[in-house]
Amino acid sequence: MHQQPDPDLSAFIAGLPKVELHVHQVGSASPRIVTELAARHPEAGVPADLDALIDYFTFDDFAHFIQVYLSVVDLIRDAEDVRLLTYEVAVELARQQVAYAELTVTPYTSVVRGIAPEAFVEAIDDARTAALRDHGIELQWIFDIPGESGIPAAETTCEIAVDLGSQALIGFGLGGPEIGVPRPQFRPYFDRARAAGLHSLPHAGETTGPQTILDALDVLGAERIGHGTSAAHDQQLLARLAEAGIALEVCPTSNVATGAVSELAAHPLPQLVEAGVTVTINSDDPPMFGTCLNREYEIAADLLGLDQHGVAELARTAVRESFASAETKRRILADIDAYTLRAGRR
């Protein structure tokens, strides 16, 4: 049984400067924004009532989650919807003292619904500029392939990333279901993206076994792994990840909500850490899973038995594993150190 979080530790986490490395643009749509968009587009079938939306966001399994996720995607009908959503995601992160985030965006699902690629990129970049100006949060982008849409999505995503891009685009990813979506088919697109200077940041080993993680490493050249929890089933893979310093982007509540892990008490985070694997703590699709980054840090602290110093070190690890500029990393690490020092004097 997991205890209620220590109020002092929760307060420390709430004020701790943090970065977020695994969070999805559409999956971060707050209930307020979803209901607003649902009222604007009732034909999409998403509840416009807040209480009904909470029930709607209760998932049977990962396939059901993808179905619900795509119904929310269908609410994003024009570039202004994209800009509004992106800005509001940044505002919510900034409220949690997130100073920098690598936001996973999926251009294909908007482009296929009729938003021009140029308009999409302009909308997210406008939101990024406004969020930095208004709230001091820096965003960079990971453009990901929605795996369920296959090769056409890979081609479109790669073209937008390489030919159009954005100055803030740092990574190329792969999301969506893993079962029935083998990683190797996407190799040419990751090769092209990497040749263009983008980092390889695919999801792997969430709802499938260790082989998916191996494919992400050996075929897609992964530099970080989204989720990667099934690595706990393979001691050789754990040793390889630890030795290579490949970080896993761990999202505990998400893993339970999608059925990848049976319950928080069974989460393999302690095994991963014990094996020497680098882990970062993230929120994935927070409103859909009824969580936030602060809550994920509380869960990690409970699972790992961490005090304030241990939690601060988790935050530092995420900064180091990010693809922020050296100056941004220095600034946030200094802010974490200063905050921790002040908290220790109280």
* Cα–Cα distance for residue pair 121/167, rounded to 1 Å: 10
Residues 6+ apart with CB under 8 A from 299: 2, 252, 253, 264
Q: Say which DSSP state 160 is in.
A: I
206 is catalytic: yes
**Residues 14, 20, 22, 24, Cα dihedral to 10°:** 80
Cβ-based neighbour number of residue 146 at 10 Å: 23
């989720």: which residue's tokens?
227
Annotated catalytic residue within 88, 206, 249, 296 = 206
Measured in whole angstroms, how far is the alpha carbon of residue 28 from the centre of its chain?
Answer: 9
**Residues 332, 335, 337, 341, Cα dihedral to 10°:** -170
* Cα–Cα distance for residue pair 148/161, rounded to 1 Å: 19
List the strands of the sheet with 98-105, edge to edge.
18-24, 98-105, 138-146, 169-175, 199-204, 224-227, 247-250, 279-281
* Cα–Cα distance for residue pair 343/179, rounded to 1 Å: 45
* Cα–Cα distance for residue pair 45/24, rounded to 1 Å: 21
Active site residues: 206
